């Protein structure tokens, strides 16, 4: 239902773009993720597909245009269709058509590049990549690596680095990972990817504390939440959210690994992005509001603060 906000409350989407831009985003990605024909058919809104896509693209472009001094890039996207089946050739044709129409709208809107993302089949990613390149666009292709019975592999059985190499060999300009994994579980896959390709590498984890037991946020449990038996799915992950500093450290680690397209996926908040930008040595517009904890009544050391509130009186 959230996609309808593009038509019903476009001003809210614009404001969200502005917040991420002010926090340091270099890329304004249109709010088109998962708004494809198959998903919209599933929710009975296929008739809204084109207007949702084109309006989201228009909103992203207009938001970027508000900050000409930042030289922002605008991206369109295609994503997991959920109908791809390696054994069903017809599904490949249907995927290709879905990708082509979305890429067409993105190209007409004048985006700088197209991101194919959250795809867990190398085969499906290749179809998306081909559609982007056939349209003459720059292609960023990001895989979501599940943690199913076959381990850290794409659904068709390649390691993340093998799949990224295949995508680079087929013309991707940027390859990497997004979604599913939190920073720690994504980071462990990155050195191999960096070694296997020579193009730019992308890393956009979810800002949640996934771990060896639950490498992805898909079926993670929150032991601290007993009201729903810890089964947090996608809508109760709050208790597992990373701090801004965990995300800042992730950005720094990526830069050290020469991972050069750094971001966050589902669950990103502007304060995460700002900390990532700051940790990379940037001072985004919202740096103006960066917290100065030295003046906090309890945590700070500023001489103007009252000694009566010192931590020794407040700490348990």
Q: Which is nearer to Zn ion, 100 or 124 (CB)?
A: 124
Pick one of 163, 201, 265, 268: the residue that binds Zn ion (CB under 5 A): 265
Per-residue exposure over 61-99, b if at least 16 CB sit within 10 Å of its own CB, e if not: bebbeeeeebebebbbbbbbbebbeeeeeebbebbbebb
State in angstroms the smallest separation of the CB of 272 from Zn ion: 13
In whole angstroms, what is the distance from residue 228 CA to residue 237 CA? 12
Cβ-in-10-Å burial (0-12, 13-18, 19+) of 130 comes to middle
State in angstroms the smallest separation of the CB of 281 from Zn ion: 26
Pick one of 5, 266, 285, 305: the residue that binds Zn ion (CB under 5 A): 266
Stretch that binds Zn ion, among 74-82, 169-177, 190-198, 259-267 (CB under 5 A): 259-267
Instruction: Answer whether 153's CB lies under 8 Å from 166's CB.
Output: no
Q: Which is nearer to Zn ion, 190 or 265 (CB)?
A: 265
DSSP code, position 50: H
Contact flags string 176-215 toward Zn ion, x per CB under 5 A: ---x------------------------------------
R_g of the chain, CA atoms, integer Å: 21
Size of the site for Zn ion (CB under 5 A): 3
State in angstroms the smallest separation of the CB of 145 from Zn ion: 12
Measure the CA angle with vertex 4, ends 97 and 130; round to 5°: 20
Q: Which is nearer to Zn ion, 100 or 119 (CB)?
A: 119
State in angstroms the smallest separation of the CB of 205 from Zn ion: 9
Q: Which is nearer to Zn ion, 99 or 180 (CB)?
A: 180
Contact flags string 132-161 toward Zn ion, x per CB under 5 A: ------------------------------
In whole angstroms, what is the distance from residue 87 CA to residue 50 CA? 30
Residue corresponding to tokens 């000694």? 307
State in angstroms the smallest separation of the CB of 289 from Zn ion: 26
What the block records as the tokens of 58 is 């228009």
220 is an interface residue for Zn ion by CB under 5 A = no
Contacts 24+ apart (CB under 8 A), 303-311: none
Q: Which is nearer to Zn ion, 111 or 179 (CB)?
A: 179
Instruction: Answer whether 207's CB lies under 8 Å from 182's CB.
Output: yes
What the block records as the tokens of 288 is 């103006």
State in angstroms the smallest separation of the CB of 22 from Zn ion: 22
Q: Which is nearer to Zn ion, 32 or 196 (CB)?
A: 32
Interhelix angle 10-23/270-279, nearest 10 degrees: 20
State in angstroms the smallest separation of the CB of 195 from Zn ion: 25
State in angstroms the smallest separation of the CB of 265 from Zn ion: 3
- In angstroms, what CA-CA distances link 315 with 302, 306, 309? 18, 16, 10
Q: Which is nearer to Zn ion, 99 or 217 (CB)?
A: 217
Stretch that binds Zn ion, among 53-61, 75-83, 185-193, 266-274 (CB under 5 A): 266-274
In whole angstroms, what is the distance from residue 104 CA to residue 289 CA? 39
218 is an interface residue for Zn ion by CB under 5 A = no
264 is an interface residue for Zn ion by CB under 5 A = no
- Site residues (vs Zn ion, CB under 5 A): 179, 265-266
């Amino acid at each position: 239902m959230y996609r309808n906000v593009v038509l019903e409350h476009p001003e809210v989407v614009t404001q969200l773009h502005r917040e991420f831009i002010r926090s340091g985003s270099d890329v304004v990605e249109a709010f088109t993720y998962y708004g494809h024909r198959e998903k919209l058919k599933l929710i009975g809104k296929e008739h809204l597909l084109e207007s949702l896509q084109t309006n989201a693209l228009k909103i992203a472009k207009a938001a970027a245009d508000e900050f000409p001094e930042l030289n922002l890039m605008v991206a369109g996207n295609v994503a997991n269709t959920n109908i791809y089946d390696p054994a069903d050739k017809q599904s490949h044709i249907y995927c290709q058509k879905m990708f082509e129409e979305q890429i067409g709208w993105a190209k007409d809107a004048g985006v700088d590049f197209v991101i194919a993302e959250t795809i867990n089949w190398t085969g499906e990613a290749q179809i998306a990549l081909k559609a982007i390149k056939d349209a003459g666009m720059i292609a960023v292709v990001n895989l979501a690596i599940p943690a199913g019975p076959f381990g850290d592999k794409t659904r068709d059985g390649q390691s993340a680095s093998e799949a990224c190499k295949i995508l680079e060999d087929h013309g991707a300009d940027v390859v990497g990972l997004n979604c599913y994994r939190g920073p720690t579980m994504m980071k462990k896959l990155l050195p191999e990817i960096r070694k296997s390709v020579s193009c730019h590498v992308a890393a956009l984890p979810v800002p949640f504390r996934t771990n060896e037991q639950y490498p992805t946020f898909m079926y993670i449990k929150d032991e601290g939440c007993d009201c729903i038996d810890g089964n947090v799915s996608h809508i109760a992950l709050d208790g597992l959210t990373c701090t801004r500093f965990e995300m800042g450290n992730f950005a720094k680690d990526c830069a050290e690994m020469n991972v050069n397209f750094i971001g966050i996926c589902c669950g990103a908040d502007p304060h995460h992005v700002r900390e990532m930008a700051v940790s990379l040595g940037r001072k985004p517009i919202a740096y103006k509001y960066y917290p100065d904890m030295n003046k906090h009544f309890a945590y700070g050391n500023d001489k103007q603060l009252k000694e009566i509130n010192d931590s020794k009186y407040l700490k348990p």
